[in-house]
Structure 1
Amino acid sequence: MAQDRRITKTKTAIREAYFSILKENSSAKITVTEIANRANIDRKTFYLHYDSPEALMEEFYKNLVNDFLLILEKNDFFDRSFDVLSLFQSLNALVQRDIDLYRHIAKMPSYAFFWEEIKDIVKSVAIEAMSDGVNIPRDELELSAEFYFAGLIAAYLKWLRNEVNLTETEVVNILGTASFYGFHKLLQKK
């Protein structure tokens, strides 16, 4: 059933107000009053749609996770053995929608759970895809996948925060090489 256009318009105004405040403010706490004032609505109108600013973020994350899974699917992430390029293309397709917002979120420790969720999604998908093709105990696969994907997401965040002066392609190549060869490739260059 389609949602009433007025409801959609009001929720859009609320989300836009919240995220514009978030981009301007490094504080983790954004009040309903701030959001309502920016969205040009009453506080009561906010509460008709959301219980709290946290509920707004929860809706945002749920939608983002669904969008991320769709993008991974579109980039054939699920149909091949793990590909660093496919992961980065998928992440970039997601964050390019509002790169400034995601760069800001990447810098805020209070939003680390978001990136943890992204890592967990990719890890669980990869484990399911690989579990039939490898002959190692499930705990060993789980631990190896945690190590691998935690590192990839941490490296992606360094790039997203502009902490490294590398292009996306350079990052993908470095991480792809490190993923495949480990530190052995680096030690051979010495």
Structure 2
Amino acid sequence: MEIRKTDRRVRHTQALLQQSLIKLMREKPLIKITVTDICNLADINRSTFYLHYTDPLSLLYAIETELLEDVIDLIRVPDKDFSFTSFIHTLLKALDENKETSTIFLKCHDGHLFSNSFFESFHDCFISMLNRTLPAASSSCHEYLYTFVANGLISVVRKWIADGFLEEPREIEELLETVCSCALIKKQCIL
């Protein structure tokens, strides 16, 4: 089956709508943004909006999906090649390059930044890495370590974004690597 590329005009229209929503979300919450507001700012007809999206929320989900798919594609590597360090680097770089979008997602999703599918992709790679790194540990131990690392990562990234990206991505990367390395080293000593 042949996969068709999206027409350049369609991509341009979708980009205008996405940029307009992001701009409006700087000024007011999503619930107060109407399709008319978005269309007026984008200088696009309402019927054109409805060709692509059903409402402002579906537009927001499209923006989120696009950003997360880009990050997932960057980190999706064969399990044997998965590196926590490269994962953190890739994630922080993507968020830093999309500061405004990341900040808006954090605000409008009540502090939730990542979808379940994002962490499902990360989960499988991370567990595989733990199987190689800590082969003597039980699968439940691996799950607890994953939970610790994933939730710590989410919390640190959430704070970094909420604080306005004050630190450079490299500083956050080093902090996360240190904390996670200490957890893994400590676990190796216990085994």
Specify the TM-score bucket, using the shorter chain as the normaliser.
0.7 to 0.9
* Percent identity of paired positions between Structure 1 and Structure 2: 23
Residue-by-residue CA offset, 1:151-174 (whole Å, 9 max, x unaligned): 012112212222796443333333
**Farther-moved stretch of structure 1 (64-73 vs 130-139):** 130-139
Residue-by-residue CA offset, 1:87-114 (whole Å, 9 max, x unaligned): 33212331233323323433x1525443
**Farther-moved stretch of structure 1 (47-56 vs 132-141):** 132-141
In structure 2, relative to structure 1, the CA distance for the partners of 1:97 and 1:109 (3 Å cut) is same
Counterpart check, 1:8 vs 2:11: yes
Distance 2:164 2:10 in 1: 40
Counterpart check, 1:28 vs 2:21: no
1:140 aligned residue = 141
1:115 aligned residue = 114
Question: Which AA in structure 1 matches 2:130?
Answer: M
**Farther-moved stretch of structure 1 (30-39 vs 5-14):** 5-14
2:189 aligned residue = none
2:153 aligned residue = 152
Counterpart check, 1:82 vs 2:122: no
Question: Which AA in structure 2 matches 1:96?
Answer: D
Distance 1:161 1:56 in 2: 23
In structure 2, relative to structure 1, the CA distance for the partners of 1:68 and 1:78 (3 Å cut) is farther
In structure 2, relative to structure 1, the CA distance for the partners of 1:109 and 1:137 (3 Å cut) is farther
In structure 2, relative to structure 1, the CA distance for the partners of 1:151 and 1:78 (3 Å cut) is farther
Distance 2:96 2:121 in 1: 19
When normalised by structure 2's length, the TM-score is: 0.75
1:105 aligned residue = 105
Question: Which AA in structure 2 matches 1:121?
Answer: S
When normalised by structure 1's length, the TM-score is: 0.75
**Farther-moved stretch of structure 1 (132-141 vs 169-178):** 132-141
Q: Report 1 or 2 for greater relative contact order, CA contacts < 8 Å, sequence distance ≥ 6.
A: 2
In structure 2, relative to structure 1, the CA distance for the partners of 1:159 and 1:78 (3 Å cut) is farther
For structure 2, which runs of at least 5 residues remain unmatched after alignment?
Answer: 187-191
- What is the Cα deviation at residue 73 of structure 1? 4.6
RMSD: 3.1
SS of the equivalent of 2:10 reads: helix
Question: Which AA in structure 1 matches 2:143?
Answer: E
Question: Which AA in structure 2 matches 1:115?
Answer: F
2:72 aligned residue = 69
CA contact (8 A) 1:119 1:150 kept: no
Distance 1:9 1:163 in 2: 29
Residue-by-residue CA offset, 1:23-64 (whole Å, 9 max, x unaligned): 333x13232121111111222221111112222222223222
SS of the equivalent of 1:114 reads: coil
